[in-house]
Chain A
Amino acid sequence: MHPAFQGLLTIAIGVSGCVGYFYLSNQFLDKVLFPPRGPNAGRNINRANIIRPWLFLFPAVAALGLYLAYPVIETMRLSLTDRVPGGGYEWVGLENYKQMVAEPKFWEAMRNNMLWLIVVPALSTFFGLLVAQLTDRIRWGNVAKAMIFMPMAISFVGASVIWKLVYDTRPVEQDQIGILNALYMFFGGTEPQTWLTIPFWNSFFLMVVLIWIQTGFAMVILSAALRGIPEETVEAAILDGANPFQIFFKIKVPQIKTTILVVWTTITILVLKVFDIVFAMTNGQWETQVLANYMYDKLFRANDWGVGSASAMVIMLLVTPILVWNVRNARNEMK
Chain B
Amino acid sequence: MSDIAGTKPALRWVVHLSVIFLVVLWVVPTLGLFISSFRTADQIATSGWWKSLFPSEQNLTLRSAAAENQVLEDGMYVIEGNLFDASQKATISKWGVSSRAVDAFEPGQTAELRRGGTITVDASGNYRMENAEEFTGARGARVFVTAELPPEFTLDNYHKVLLAEDSTDSMTRAFFNTLTVTVPATIIPILVAAFAAYALAWMEFPGRALLIAAVVGLLVVPLQLALIPLLKFHLGIGIGKGYLGVWMAHTGFGMPLAIYLLRNYMAGLPRDLIENARVDGATEFQIFTKLILPLSFPALASFAILQFLWTWNDLLVAKVFLIDASGQTTVMTNSIVELLGTRGGNWEILATAAFVSIVVPLIVFFAMQKYLVRGLLAGSVK
- Seen from chain A, the residues whose Cβ lies within 8 Å of a Cβ on chain B are 3-4, 6-7, 10-11, 14-15, 18-19, 22-23, 26, 30, 49-50, 52-54, 56-57, 59-61, 63-64, 66-72, 74-75, 127, 130-131, 133-138, 141-142, 144-158, 161-163, 165-166, 174-179, 182, 212, 215, 217, 220-221, 224, 227-228, 230-231, 234-235, 238, 244-245, 247-248, 258-259, 262, 265-266, 269, 272-273, 292, 295-296, 299-300, 309, 312, 315-316, 319, 322-323, 326-327, 330-331, 333-334
Give B282 Cβ to nearest chain A Cβ, in Å: 12
Q: A56-B199, A175-B48 are in contact. Are A138 and B192 (CB under 8 A)?
A: no
Assign chain B's interface to a size class: 35 or more
Q: Is the CB of A179 within 8 A of B188?
A: no
Name the one of B5, B199, B337, B362 contacting A150, with C-beta atoms under 8 angstroms.
B362
Name the one of A6, A72, A153, A231 contacting B1, with C-beta atoms under 8 angstroms.
A231
Which of A68, A69, A273 has the most chain B CB atoms closer than 10 A to its own CB? A68
Which of B86-94, B122-130, B162-170, B218-226 is the contact stretch? B218-226
Question: Which A residues touch B36, using CB under 8 A?
Answer: 165
Give A2 Cβ to nearest chain B Cβ, in Å: 8
Give A263 Cβ to nearest chain B Cβ, in Å: 10
Among B198-255, those with CB < 8 Å from A are: 198-200, 203-205, 208-226, 229-230, 233, 243-244, 247-249, 251-253, 255
Question: Which B residues touch A319, using CB under 8 A?
Answer: 216-217, 219-220
Q: A66-B252, A161-B347 are in contact. Are A166 and B29 (CB under 8 A)?
A: yes
Q: Is the CB of A296 within 8 A of B203?
A: no
Which of B62-70, B96-104, B143-151, B175-183 is the contact stretch? B175-183
Bound CA span A72–B247, Å: 21
Bound CA span A50–B267, Å: 20
B357 proximal to A (CB < 8 A):
yes
Which of B76-84, B108-116, B372-380 is the contact stretch? B372-380
B33 proximal to A (CB < 8 A):
yes
B30 proximal to A (CB < 8 A):
yes
Q: A68-B226, A144-B23, A299-B224 are in contact. Are A333 and B267 (CB under 8 A)?
A: yes
Which of A53, A245, A272 has the most chain B CB atoms closer than 10 A to its own CB? A53
Bound CA span A63–B6, Å: 48
Q: Is the CB of A75 within 8 A of B4?
A: no
Question: Which B residues touch A30, using CB under 8 A?
Answer: 283
Mind listing 10 A-B residue pairs with CB under 8 Å? A11-B184, A60-B193, A157-B333, A157-B350, A212-B29, A220-B372, A228-B379, A259-B264, A326-B212, A327-B210
Bound CA span A157–B256, Å: 24
B273 proximal to A (CB < 8 A):
no
Chain A-chain B contacts (Cβ-Cβ < 8 Å), number? 336
Interface SS of chain B: helix, strand, loop or mixed? helix
Question: Which A residues touch B243, using CB under 8 A?
Answer: 3, 6-7, 10
Bound CA span A49–B284, Å: 9
Q: Is the CB of A7 within 8 A of B180?
A: yes
Q: Is the CB of A177 within 8 A of B1?
A: no
Give B382 Cβ to nearest chain A Cβ, in Å: 6
Q: Is the CB of B350 within 8 A of A161?
A: yes
Chain A residue at minimum C-beta to C-beta distance from B199 = A56
Question: Which B residues touch A157, using CB under 8 A?
Answer: 315, 333, 336-337, 350, 354
Chain B residue at minimum C-beta to C-beta distance from A292 = B222
Q: Is the CB of A18 within 8 A of B205?
A: no
Given contacts A68-B221, A158-B357, A165-B36, 18 further A-B contacts (CB under 8 A): A15-B187, A23-B285, A66-B233, A67-B255, A71-B221, A134-B22, A153-B362, A157-B336, A165-B29, A224-B376, A244-B11, A247-B2, A259-B264, A272-B220, A295-B222, A327-B212, A330-B209, A334-B209
Chain B residue at minimum C-beta to C-beta distance from A26 = B285
Give A124 Cβ to nearest chain B Cβ, in Å: 12
Question: Which A residues touch B184, using CB under 8 A?
Answer: 7, 10-11, 14
B274 proximal to A (CB < 8 A):
no
Bound CA span A146–B305, Å: 13
Question: Which A residues touch B276, using CB under 8 A?
Answer: none
Bound CA span A168–B204, Å: 56
Chain B residue at minimum C-beta to C-beta distance from A300 = B224
Question: Which A residues touch B259, using CB under 8 A?
Answer: 60, 64
Bound CA span A150–B369, Å: 13
Q: Is the CB of A68 within 8 A of B302?
A: no
B46 proximal to A (CB < 8 A):
yes
Q: Is the CB of B372 within 8 A of A162?
A: no
Bound CA span A2–B93, Å: 61
Name the one of B200, B216, B309 contacting A57, with C-beta atoms under 8 angstroms.
B200
B53 proximal to A (CB < 8 A):
no
B155 proximal to A (CB < 8 A):
no
